[in-house]
């Protein structure tokens, strides 16, 4: 059972700015997921002005400070969704024009959108807002936090569509060949977003569905030395070697309970080949809860639980380009912490509290909020 002992701060709804100093406290949790496979029992996290200054066992914690939150369940870094359509309000889709490379999700996303509140209630604190796969070049993703206020990276990745959904029969290009020629022609341009891509300053998201599309995407990335990740790419596991050689990651999911065994086996194969795997969403079209469900489905199909956890946190953060700030409980990282009723890798665990930048936010949908026991 949950019990809060709050010295000074009352549980206030989100969006109301917290009192000065509210982003400084110490958290004592029965179990602490730091990163990777590092779990500390009876761990302590010290937060000062929204940054983590200590995360580890109680012994090395030293002075705990006046504000102490004790949580009898688990605590971990907030989850990172490597792909979502949250906050776009249905925009971000421009199928009539194949090339909208300069379009920015950051210009469209509404940080205070209800989608993000829902994501928070599922323990997700960082999201990469991506665009429609129905264009050859959809635009530039953005990386935001679900606190309704923070943008981590205005420009995340250039999203390219190499699946049959990016092609049309009634507008140019209608063929894979022309789509790739177009991208290569753009890559040769001296200025603009493509120049940044060429120089490695901006990574790419390559959307591909069938195996031959994945093959073409990987070949494109290898030839032009693009960094980034494949999106969706079910059955990418059958090309794991080539993906590894190209140095790409894969953003998989979302997977539901009825997912094909072959697709889940593909994720396991990627994990075995040490291809970085991150989990993504298609919210609001599907529930945010699927992020953890995806990880659970993959674990059940044989994915290493450590890789599954990394796919929800550190790898996703690395793919998003914000691995230094979020995804793990470590000194110097943002204090994006989620309190769980149990191990977050278990689907039976619920969100019981969400801190973003050290400030607690409303996370309706979790178990106990309001009232101490």
Partner 1 sequence: MAAATLVATGESKDQTSWTISAGRVYTATGKVIEEGRVTVEDGKIRSVSKGGGGDLECYAITPGLIDLSVRIERDLSSIEQSREITPEKRIADALDWFDEAWKREARSGVTSVMINPLERQVVGGLSVVVKTAGESAQKRTVKADSALYGAIGSAPSQSNHPAFGRPDDFYSRRPTTRMGVEWEWRKAFFDAAMAREDKNLAGPGTLELQKALAGDLPLCIQAWTTQDIRTAVFLKEELAREGLGKLRLVVDAAAEAWKEPELLVRSATAAILPPFSATGRSDDGSFFALDTAKVLAERGVTIALSGHGARAASERLCYQPGHAMRGGLAFDAALAAVTINPARIAGIDKRVGSLEAGKDADLVLWSGPPFEATSAVIGVLVDGRLVLDPRTQNK
Partner 2 sequence: MKMLHTTTRAAAIALSACLFASAAAADGKLAIKAGRVLPGPGMPELEKATIVIENGRIAAIGKDVKVPWDAVVIDAPNLVAIPGYVEAHSARGMDRPNENLDVAPFLSVRDSIDPVGFYFEDSLRWGVTTINIQQGNNCVVAGQGVIVRPIGLTVDEMIVRTPSGVKLSASPKMGFSAATQAQALRRAFGDLRRSLEQLVAEKKEGSDRARREALYQGRDLEGENAKGKAMEGAAWKVTGFELVPRGEIDEKLVPLLALVEGKLPAFFYCGRPMDVHTALDIAKENGFLAKTTLVISPAAYKAAGAIAAAKVAAILDGAAVYVETDPLTGEEREVFVPGELKKAGVRFALASANPTTESLWFQAAQCVGRGMPRAEAVAAVTTVPAEILGLGKQLGTLEVGKFGTVVLCSGDPLSVASWVERVVVEGRDVYDRSKDVRVKHLIGGQAPANTQVMGASLLGDPRKVVCCEGEDPEEHAKHEAEERAKKDKGEAEDDK
Binding residues for partner 2 (CB under 8 A): 260-262
In the numeric block, which tokens belong to residue 365?
A: 């949908």
Other beta carbons within 10 angstroms of residue 344's beta carbon come to 26
Q: Which of 3, 15, 175, 285 binds partner 1 (CB under 8 A)?
A: 175
User: Is 217 a residue that touches partner 1 (CB under 8 A)?
Assistant: no
How far are the Cα atoms of 47, 323, 364 from residue 75, in angstroms, in the given order? Answer: 14, 19, 17
Determine if 178 is a binding residue for partner 1 (CB under 8 A): yes
Nearer to partner 1, 262 or 300 (CB): 262
Residue 216 in contact with partner 1, rule: CB under 8 A? yes
205 beta partners:
159, 229
Size of the site for partner 1 (CB under 8 A): 18
Cβ closer to partner 1: 237 or 284? Answer: 237
Calpha distance 231→131 (Å, rounded): 11
Is residue 187 within the footprint of partner 1 (CB under 8 A)?
no
Q: Which does 170 bind (CB under 5 to 8 A by kind): partner 1, partner 2, none?
A: partner 1
222 binds partner 1 (CB under 8 A): no
* Sign of the torsion formed by the C-alpha atoms of 350, 351, 353 and 358: positive
At which residue do the structure tokens 């593909």 appear? 266
Other beta carbons within 10 angstroms of residue 131's beta carbon come to 30
In the complex, the smallest distance separating the C-beta of residue 367 from partner 2, rounded to whole angstroms, is 39
- Binding flag, residue 224, partner 1 (CB under 8 A): no
Smallest gap from residue 197 Cβ to partner 1 (A): 21
Question: Which of 184, 212, 223, 260 is in the footprint of partner 1 by CB under 8 A?
Answer: 212
| Strand-strand pairing, 249-252 and 228-232 | parallel
**Nearer to partner 1 by C-beta: 3 or 210?**
210
Asked whether position 174 contacts partner 1 by CB under 8 A, the answer is yes
Residue choice 172, 201, 302, 324 for contact with partner 1 (CB under 8 A): 172
d(CA 169, CA 98): 12
Cβ 363 to partner 2, closest distance in Å? 40
- Judged by beta carbon, residue 263 or residue 351, the one nearer partner 2 is 263
Q: Smallest Cα–Cα separation from 338: which of 308, 309, 361, 365?
A: 361
- The CA-atom distances, in angstroms, between 313 and each of 14, 34, 195 are 23, 10, 30
For residue 303, CA distances in Å to 100, 240, 273 come to 36, 14, 11
Of the pair 167, 329, the CB lying nearest partner 1 is at 167
Q: Are 109 and 158 in contact (CB under 8 A)?
A: no
Residue 274: alpha-carbon gap to chain centroid: 19
Separation CA 337–CA 126 (nearest Å)? 11
Q: Which is nearer to partner 2, 248 or 263 (CB)?
A: 263
262 binds, among partner 1, partner 2, none (CB under 5 to 8 A by kind): partner 2
Stretch that binds partner 1, among 104-112, 184-192, 197-205, 209-217 (CB under 8 A): 209-217
Q: Binding to partner 1 (CB under 8 A): which residues in 137-166? A: 164
Residue 185 as a binder of partner 1 (CB under 8 A): the answer is no
φ/ψ bin of 267: left (φ > 0), alpha (ψ from -120 to 50), beta (otherwise): alpha
Quick check: 167 binds partner 1 (CB under 8 A)? yes
286 binds partner 1 (CB under 8 A): no
Query: What are the DSSP calls for 334-364, one per residue?
Result: B--EEEESS-TTSTT--EEEEEETTEEE--B
Minimum distance, C-beta of residue 260 to partner 2, in the bound complex (Å): 8
Residue 169 binds which entry of partner 2, partner 1, none, CB below 5-8 Å type-dependent: partner 1
Q: Among partner 2, partner 1, none, what does residue 180 contact (CB within 5–8 Å per kind)?
A: partner 1
| Contacts to partner 1 by CB under 8 A | 164, 167, 169-178, 180, 210-212, 215-216
């Amino acid at each position: 059972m949950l019990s809060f002992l709050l010295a000074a701060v009352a549980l206030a709804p989100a969006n109301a700015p917290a009192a000065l100093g509210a982003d400084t406290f110490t958290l004592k949790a029965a179990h602490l997921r730091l990163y990777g496979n590092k779990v500390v029992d009876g761990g302590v996290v010290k937060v000062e002005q929204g940054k983590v200054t200590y995360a580890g066992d109680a012994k090395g914690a030293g002075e705990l400070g006046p504000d102490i939150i004790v949580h009898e369940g688990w605590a971990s870094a907030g989850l990172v969704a490597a792909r979502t359509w949250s906050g776009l309000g249905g925009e971000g889709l421009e199928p009539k024009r194949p090339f909208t490379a300069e379009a920015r999700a950051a210009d469209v996303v509404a940080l205070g959108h209800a989608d993000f509140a829902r994501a928070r209630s599922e323990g997700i604190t960082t999201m990469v807002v991506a665009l429609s796969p129905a264009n050859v070049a959809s635009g530039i993703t953005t990386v935001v936090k679900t606190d309704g206020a923070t943008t981590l990276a205005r420009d995340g990745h250039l999203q390219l569509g190499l699946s049959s959904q990016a092609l049309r029969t009634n507008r140019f290009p209608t063929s894979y060949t022309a789509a790739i020629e177009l991208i290569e022609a753009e890559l040769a341009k001296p200025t603009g977003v493509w120049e940044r891509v060429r120089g490695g300053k901006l990574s790419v998201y390559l959307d591909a569905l069938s195996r031959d599309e994945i093959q073409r995407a990987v070949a494109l990335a290898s030839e032009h030395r693009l960094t980034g990740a494949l999106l969706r790419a079910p059955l990418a596991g059958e090309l794991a070697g080539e993906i590894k050689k190209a140095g790409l990651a894969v953003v998989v999911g979302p997977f539901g309970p009825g997912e094909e065994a072959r697709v889940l086996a593909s994720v396991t194969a990627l994990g075995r080949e040490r291809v970085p795997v991150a989990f993504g969403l298609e919210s609001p079209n599907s529930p945010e809860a699927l992020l953890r469900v995806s990880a659970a489905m993959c674990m059940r199909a044989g994915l290493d639980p450590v890789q599954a956890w990394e796919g929800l946190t550190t790898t996703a953060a690395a793919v998003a380009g914000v691995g230094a700030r979020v995804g793990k409980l470590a000194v110097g990282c943002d204090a994006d912490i989620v309190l769980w009723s149990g191990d977050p890798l278990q689907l039976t665990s619920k969100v019981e509290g969400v801190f973003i930048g050290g400030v607690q936010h409303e996370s309706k949908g979790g178990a106990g909020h309001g009232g101490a026991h």
